[in-house]
Amino acid sequence: MADDQTRMFHAAVESSDPKAQAQPVVARPKSCEGSLEPEHGYGWLPWCVENEQGPARADSLSPHPGQFPPIPRGGDGYLRNYEAHELSGCQDDLHAVALWLERTARRNALTWEKYRREVERYLLWLGIARGRALSEVTVEDLRAYDDLLRHPEQYPDWHGPKVNRSDPRWRPWTRPLSAQARYYSLRVIHRLYSWLVRRGYLRFNPLDTADIVESYPRRRQQQYRFLPEQAWLTLLEVVDTPPEAGCDSRAWLRYARNRWIIYALYHLGARASELCESRQGDLFTVDRGSHKHWRWQVRGKHRRDLDDPDDIPVPGGLIEILAEYRGALGLSPYPTPGERTPMIVSLYPQRDGWQPITRQRLFSICKDIFQNAAAAVAADQPEQARALESASTHWLRHTFVTHLLAHGVGIQDARDLARHRDIGSTQVYAHSEQERLAAIVEQFAAEQSQNSSDEDGGGSSDV
């Protein structure tokens, strides 16, 4: 089957224009037309398409970033399958992509966001740089895209500074990609093509014959993006320092909010998206006789909407920090079951009540806190300051898992608290093993140096 696909692929792309080799367009079954409408239509990719008024306007719901032009819709490429199939009603390639993204969104919102980003990058590059649609891609296109992923900084039209998406300087890539990131990008595109093949929209997956999707790159053995103990304590000193007496209520609210954010990200081992999307009613108590335990129900990275949420233990001290935050909001100390108050409330209420902050806003808040902590120790502790300046929201999760293992928590327990799918993800935080190996190397080097000195001394006595 693979050989047949390869022959079919190369036969189809011998011409410089793949449409010249494409199958003749066959009328789609009338009964299927319009029967497949994604809930959001082209809302997943609003910047891609032209409408009756021409290209998407800059003031539309999600104007295309970087002022890029619309891309080809496709629908009649040589990869298309024109026999009746599940997606026969798709109007074009972008319609089929929108259906795939909608299916992904129903399973996991965070996965959808990552998939949409990778598909956006690919479709933009394919449509603008190569002038092709999804069903028209060639082996040469795919290999050129792989080279872009390997060296995005060498392509100024596609690589640029990290700016807001509405900025004309916006580009899809802002930094070089690691081997893991490149692999992930290609795997997402491969999954998209494979899904379209399984649904009958395409004849075969072009990535299967391009030989660019390799095995997953090996992880590095250690996770170094975490705060050492002393840097963590410095951070706590900053967030625990209350505002000056006589300040307004907003300053106290900001203090209580920032303190809750830092402690919650750390002690819950929370990802930014989890904390932004959760509600305070997701915290609940379990009666254990003489006392109650607090728990947090969260549907995290590897949980679909169909799956039961994870059930995370919450330390009592963290609940008291939440009670202080709720007091600053004018709420009762503890959340009630089903309460819809966001875990982190925007300081600027909307017409329909409190709204959660975005992940971008959470990142910005944490960076400001880290910068303040770095400035506090820059003169006396430059290494601490560098670590704090480099830190981001996700570093607090890494710091939590690293500190668990450093304080003697077993690897299996740390895995459960971190909600890692496999224990290998947890092992990269176990620095004690690396320290043991370093000690072995040091001892071996010292012994070899001593042996060399003894031999040199013995030799001189023989002369």
Residues 256-294: pLDDT tens digits? 999 999 999 999 999 999 999 999 999 999 987 777 899
> Could you tell me which residue, 449 or 8, shows the higher pLDDT?
449
Overall average pLDDT of the 450-459 stretch = 66
pTM of the model: 0.65
How far apart CA 368 and CA 196 sit, in angstroms, is: 44
What is the pLDDT at residue 88? 79
DSSP 394-412: THHHHHHHHHHHHTT--HH
Which CATH architecture fits 229-431?
Answer: Orthogonal Bundle (1.10)
Quote the distance between the C-alpha of residue 17 and its chain's center. Answer: 36
Overall average pLDDT of the 41-66 stretch = 43
Overall average pLDDT of the 412-429 stretch = 86
What is the pLDDT at residue 32? 30
Whether 5 shows a pLDDT value over 80: the answer reads no
How far apart CA 346 and CA 362 sit, in angstroms, is: 10
Whether 462 shows a pLDDT value over 50: the answer reads no
> Could you tell me which residue, 424 or 119, shows the higher pLDDT?
119
Chain mean pLDDT for the chain: 80
Overall average pLDDT of the 63-80 stretch = 77
How do the domains of the chain map onto residue ranges?
2-208, 229-431
What is the pLDDT at residue 11? 42
Kind plus residue range of the DSSP H or E element containing 55: strand 54-55
Q: What is the pLDDT of residues 346-405, one digit of tens each?
A: 887 665 678 899 988 999 999 999 999 999 999 999 999 999 999 999 999 999 999 998
List the structure tokens of 244. Answer: 């000056």
Q: What is the pLDDT of residues 190-217, one digit of tens each?
A: 999 999 999 999 999 999 988 887 665 5
Whether 14 shows a pLDDT value over 50: the answer reads no
DSSP 56-104: PPTTSSSPPGGGPPP------STTB--SS-TTTT--SHHHHHHHHHHHH
List the structure tokens of 84. Answer: 């009746």
- Phi/psi zone of residue 383: left (φ > 0), alpha (ψ -120 to 50 degrees), beta? alpha
What is the pLDDT at residue 413? 92
